Structure 1
Amino acid sequence: MQPALNLLLTNTTSTGGSAGASITLDPISRIEGHLRIDAKVGTNGTIESAWSSATLFRGIEMILAGRDPRDAPLITQRLCGVCTYIHLQASTTAIENAMKLTVPANAQIVRNLLQGTQFLHDHIVHFYHLHALDWVDVTKALTADVAATATLAAQVSPSAPSIDFAAVQTKLQGLVSSGQLGPFSSGYWGHPAMKLSPEANLLFVAHYLQALAQQANTAKMMALFGGKNPHPHVTIPGGVTSGNELAVAANITNFTTQLTATNDFIKNFYIPDVVYLAKQYPEWAKIGGFDNMLAFGEFPDTYGSGTNFMPGGVIMGRNVGSVATVNTASITEDVSRAWYNTSSPLNPASGVTSPNYTGYNQSAQYSWLKAPRYQGKPMEVGPLARVLVAYGKNHAQVKPAVDSLLSTLGLTINDMFSVIGRTAARAIETQVIGNAMVGWLNTLKSNIAANNLATYASNTVPANSTGVGLGEAPRGAVGHWLSTDASSKIKNYQMVVPSAWNFGPRDAQGVSSAVESSMVGVPIADSNSPLEILRLVHSFDPCIACGVHLIDAEGKAETLVTVR
């Protein structure tokens, strides 16, 4: 007998139906950090307005003041346990920018390989373990025909290794019968918006389990060149500390083996699964889009040249054919609707972090995230922004991959501005980066064979200097702004993180962030089970921990859905 399934949602009330309802989800599950979403459903059953609130304060910038700049990479890296590397790199490059320093080629290759590992690992985990359960009804997999599932698997991913679906079903039944569902203990099971057949649900449960094993192996690449995972310390101002590890042939061999296995998983499972889901939920290629995109770019080809494998750029008004160059002077942070002391919008180079909690008030202040703006406009950052910028610049690998996907799904480039487009862009980017890593690794092997082992350039931190470290986390554009005083200590340090761009509050003009805007028009079938909000929010892969931090001393997890 199947037990009642805990939705991890409590204190639910309803005015009846969805039209006219006000919904609060607090916190959103299956993300990093704490996020509250409020939505007002119109009379037509779609969201007419939304508010995004990060509910815990970070304050890392305040901790860094007065410290040696070389402390910053190690401290800022602890912003998040998911993005375990990007803040280390962004902080380090901000210091190197202040030094006007170029690192050895091997150091940049190692950084690219570590960053690439971060992307591959993060995107696999996001799709299968954070986002897929918005589309997959786990309990329906128990009624699947095993033979029919095997037939479907051969159709969806013909090159994938065979799976014992009977064993998967038996394992799942054991979890359900025990009443302890483990990773499947929360979800909107039985929701009318779940459309997959029992066989497709069983297929995705099996792939979920395959991905659990694969992500653990992918993470090993970070440890091979970075020393450990999470939070490697290998990247330092001047290069990397892994020179000796590169000389060990077994490390190169093991990295190659794990990279090959990861790329095979992406090709045989990840890409086909995303395509299949997109075909089953075509309406979501018209839902949840935002108009403006920003990417700083990542994976420098030649350090300091400004040329990145994934290019930076700005797209306004969905005009993919017109990609502008990013001007960091056009970036400001608005705090008028956030819990900080009032100031005019400031560029991060002169930014201020001065907390002032005044209580949750949608008409005034309602979030610990600031509201970043580019030329005064909200922007979306992340895989979709990077892929569309690369597409607009005719990227040799990205453009044909996007065109192939659009042809397969019968979509246009404008349909990429959607929940499906965002999810598909993440998969495309994963494959493109994984393939590029093969080339970087081969270059590194050639350098080692030629006895070129240089990975570090000596340096000192200058006094009265400024530096900027720009890059990309899996979730989007990251910027660190640093200034030092006369004693070469940190005078000011500001970070603009991806989820601030995507999930920040309204600004002084009342203009909504990317998420708040993209939620407008999302249909809600059942206001007591607002699955559609999770689909939209999870497509951005929020990491609120980069913006806010707090530990519950009692270790209690509470989730509230209120429908008024």
Structure 2
Amino acid sequence: MKRIVVDPINRIEGHLRVEIKVNEATGKVEDALSSGTAWRGIELVLKGRDPRDAWLFAQRICGVCTTVHALACLRAVEDALGIQIPKNANYMRNIIAASQMIHDHIVHFYHLHALDWVSPVAALKADPAATAALQNTVLEKYSLKFEGPIAFDTNAYAKDFPKATTAYFREIQNKIKNIVESGQLGIFAAQYWDHPDYSILPPEAHLMAVAHYLNMLDRQRDLVTSHLVFGGKNPHPHYIVGGMPCSISMNDMNASVNTERLALVGTSVDLAIDLVNSFYIPDVLVIGDLFIKAGHVDGGGLAGKRVLSFGDFPEERYSGISNGDYFNNLLVRSNGVVENFGEGVDRAAFYPLEGKDLSDPAVLAEGVEHAWYNYPEASKDLHPWSGITSPQYTGPKEGTKTAWKYLDEAGKYSWIKTPKWNGKMVEVGPLAKYIIVYTKVKKGFLQQPTWAEKFMVDQIEAVSKLLNMPPEKWMPTTVGRTAVRGLDAQLNAYINKYFLDKLINNIKAGDTTVANTNTWDQANWPKEARGVGLHEAPRGGLSHWVTIKNGKIDNYQAIVPSTWNACPRDTNAGYGAYESSMIETKVKIAEKPLEILRVVHSFDPCLACATHLYDGQGKELSVVRTDPYL
């Protein structure tokens, strides 16, 4: 048995350490732990602050998913104070959220995850002419021909389309060759390029994918134009409790939102559709198909056993979240839990997640058995409205508190708490959302699916036909988790179009209201209030929980997707999603655990969301260099 440490996991946001015990004879991972290695203190930063400012601070939980924590925070405060936002604000927020989803998925696949599947070194062996031919074949076989619900298309033609010429790929190959021969791999450094898994793809696929990697570096910034127009900037666009801060005028060319700027948003929306349909979907499906054919159907972990989602994209205004009205108004009604999907949809069990469940500590709670926090009753989990952020760092099993060798799997070993649904571990994320919607539709829980839900089912069935494999076999795997992110990007590209159309039509009808300020004055607030904000973020179900007393935040807790997935184990509930997925993944070379990087990256880890370090005096505590070349 060999114990392997990967610290830090590179190409993620934040600080993550994993340790595995590998049986070198079989390649089986016998045990695994995942550790968030920095403390998130944002809850303490928010305590005592004005709830109207909370979104501005909460948004800084992460620097990659920029807007998602602001949206969840706004929804929590508005839920607590009973604020309904105007139609325009709801449409704008949905457009910002969908744009973020597409941007996040594209950046994740190409720039954070692709190098687990694709090698620039292997691309040097490719024939540029054969690569051009492969590009055309991939577009023919692996494109999913779906359309959204909007009848008109403002895009005259597909302006961004993969190049398929010998000269183009030869030029890309020459650039890669210069980088490799220089000995300074730069963005391609720190990877196991001699790992045998890189031989699964032909050299031409490596060259094609690296070219697209570079394409997306250039184009991704134009996907978030809606953040600039409606929120003033990216990252971290601006909001206001009660709506949006941007004025609308179709006559004033200095207005935040006018005909010219709506046209800019429209161009960005069309670009997203082009990039997803012509690059992302074909690339992720051809890679997935080749890996599935090579027998890579592991890494499912909790995905086939238990998944959770909150649902999202309210079509119109709703009266609140904790009262359940939010769930009655969603375009994607994935709210709920599905168990045993891996046994087939017929044997899968669905459990709804409704308003009454949000306040029930038996349904949603967090524990700290293996987390570096202290609860008054160590063995008792707490509902997030009663959550406590009290650090209790105990150090590693071997080594010192500042120089770890091995963490203590029998004791505390992570700065991430352990959230549970009905006392059980769950996986969250796009894969969870798709599993739940597919199960609900197939088992008759959604008698009249929305266009988006039908779109999701059609996507799953198209991929199942392409792979010649039922959904329960390919979805709960590392490949499936990665592929479904591409499907989710395609869905959100058309959701973007859908809500932009609703926004334009509402403005045409004469409505230019963007904010409800009727309860802005604290004199109109109750002395005590509490609320929850839900959002289906790029990495999965996100919830922010706030209690307000005498106009100030009395307690604030955030259960983020990476808290659900990266959490440490629990004596009664078992392993979390990261840990169980690593245990279900075989490793060919213990010292070069590429398979572990691939399965962990498939979750799109965002540990800045799960962990934060904060010093009240503003002192620099330490600087951690995660790049060995710095």
For the aligned pair, the TM-score class normalised by the smaller chain equals over 0.9
Residue 413 of structure 1 corresponds to which residue in structure 2?
A: 471
Is residue 105–residue 486 contact of structure 2 (8 Å, CA) maintained in 1?
yes
Residue 384 of structure 2 corresponds to which residue in structure 1?
A: 348
| Aligned: 1:155 with 2:137 | yes
Residue 5 of structure 1 corresponds to which residue in structure 2?
A: none
1:170 CA displacement: 1.3
Is residue 36–residue 607 contact of structure 2 (8 Å, CA) maintained in 1?
yes
The match for 2:459 among 401, 413, 430 is 401
Is residue 530–residue 548 contact of structure 2 (8 Å, CA) maintained in 1?
yes
Q: Tell me the amino acid that sits aligned with residue 411 of structure 1.
A: M
1:525 CA displacement: 0.7
* Larger displacement relative to structure 2 (142-151 or 515-524): 515-524
Residues in 2 aligned to 1:34 and 1:554: alpha-carbon distance in whole angstroms:
13
Residues in 1 aligned to 2:52 and 2:571: alpha-carbon distance in whole angstroms:
36
Q: Tell me the alpha carbon deviations over residues 214-271 of structure 1, each in whole angstroms, 9 at most, x when there is no partner.
A: 21111333212221000111x2211111223564111111111111011111001111
The match for 2:260 among 250, 253, 260 is 250
Q: Tell me the amino acid that sits aligned with residue 584 of structure 2.
A: G
Is residue 141–residue 198 contact of structure 1 (8 Å, CA) maintained in 2?
yes
* Larger displacement relative to structure 2 (545-554 or 321-330): 545-554
The match for 1:483 among 521, 530, 547 is 547
Q: Tell me the amino acid that sits aligned with residue 200 of structure 1.
A: A
Paired residues for 1:25-64 under 5 Å: 25-42=6-23, 43-64=25-46
The match for 1:171 among 175, 200, 213 is 175
1:296 CA displacement: 0.8
Deviating 4+ runs (over 3 angstroms): 158-161, 244-247, 319-322, 550-555
Is residue 337–residue 508 contact of structure 1 (8 Å, CA) maintained in 2?
no
**Structure 1's 559 and 536: CA in aligned 2 closer, same or farther, altered over 3 A?**
farther
| Aligned: 1:284 with 2:331 | no
* Larger displacement relative to structure 2 (314-323 or 487-496): 314-323
Q: Tell me the alpha carbon deviations over residues 100-131 of structure 1, each in whole angstroms, 9 at most, x when there is no partner.
A: 12111110000000000100000000111111
Q: Tell me the amino acid that sits aligned with residue 347 of structure 1.
A: H
Residue 134 of structure 1 corresponds to which residue in structure 2?
A: 116
The match for 2:625 among 534, 556, 561 is 556
SS in 1 for 2:197: coil
Q: Tell me the amino acid that sits aligned with residue 115 of structure 2.
A: L
| Aligned: 1:434 with 2:472 | no
Residue 484 of structure 2 corresponds to which residue in structure 1?
A: 425
1:188 CA displacement: 1.3
| Aligned: 1:227 with 2:210 | no
Identity %: 42
Question: What is the total number of aligned residue pairs between the two structures?
Answer: 539
SS in 2 for 1:193: helix
Residue 570 of structure 2 corresponds to which residue in structure 1?
A: 507
**Structure 1's 533 and 161: CA in aligned 2 closer, same or farther, altered over 3 A?**
closer
Residue 316 of structure 1 corresponds to which residue in structure 2?
A: 339
1:286 CA displacement: 3.9
| Aligned: 1:455 with 2:514 | yes
Residue 298 of structure 1 corresponds to which residue in structure 2?
A: 312
Q: Tell me the amino acid that sits aligned with residue 396 of structure 1.
A: K
Paired residues for 1:78-117 under 5 Å: 78-117=60-99
Is residue 246–residue 252 contact of structure 1 (8 Å, CA) maintained in 2?
no
SS in 1 for 2:351: coil
Is residue 532–residue 544 contact of structure 2 (8 Å, CA) maintained in 1?
yes
Q: Tell me the alpha carbon deviations over residues 186-236 of structure 1, each in whole angstroms, 9 at most, x when there is no partner.
A: 221121121211111101000111111221111333212221000111x22
Q: Tell me the alpha carbon deviations over residues 161-181 of structure 1, each in whole angstroms, 9 at most, x when there is no partner.
A: 324111111111121232222
Residues in 2 aligned to 1:557 and 1:506: alpha-carbon distance in whole angstroms:
26
1:442 CA displacement: 1.0
Residues in 2 aligned to 1:277 and 1:112: alpha-carbon distance in whole angstroms:
31
Residue 505 of structure 2 corresponds to which residue in structure 1?
A: 446
Is residue 99–residue 492 contact of structure 2 (8 Å, CA) maintained in 1?
no
Q: Tell me the amino acid that sits aligned with residue 367 of structure 1.
A: S
| Aligned: 1:192 with 2:196 | yes
* Larger displacement relative to structure 2 (251-260 or 324-333): 324-333
Residue 425 of structure 2 corresponds to which residue in structure 1?
A: 378
Q: Tell me the amino acid that sits aligned with residue 605 of structure 2.
A: P
1:510 CA displacement: 6.4
Residues in 2 aligned to 1:372 and 1:412: alpha-carbon distance in whole angstroms:
31
Q: Tell me the alpha carbon deviations over residues 475-523 of structure 1, each in whole angstroms, 9 at most, x when there is no partner.
A: 01111111111x2111111110100100000124361111111211311
Is residue 247–residue 448 contact of structure 1 (8 Å, CA) maintained in 2?
no
Q: Tell me the amino acid that sits aligned with residue 543 of structure 1.
A: C
Is residue 542–residue 560 contact of structure 2 (8 Å, CA) maintained in 1?
yes
SS in 1 for 2:604: coil
Residues in 2 aligned to 1:356 and 1:555: alpha-carbon distance in whole angstroms:
21
* Larger displacement relative to structure 2 (141-150 or 189-198): 189-198
Residues in 1 aligned to 2:195 and 2:102: alpha-carbon distance in whole angstroms:
31
Residues in 2 aligned to 1:90 and 1:358: alpha-carbon distance in whole angstroms:
32
Paired residues for 1:513-552 under 5 Å: 513-550=576-613
Is residue 298–residue 584 contact of structure 2 (8 Å, CA) maintained in 1?
no
Q: Which runs of 5+ in 1 are unaligned?
A: 1-19
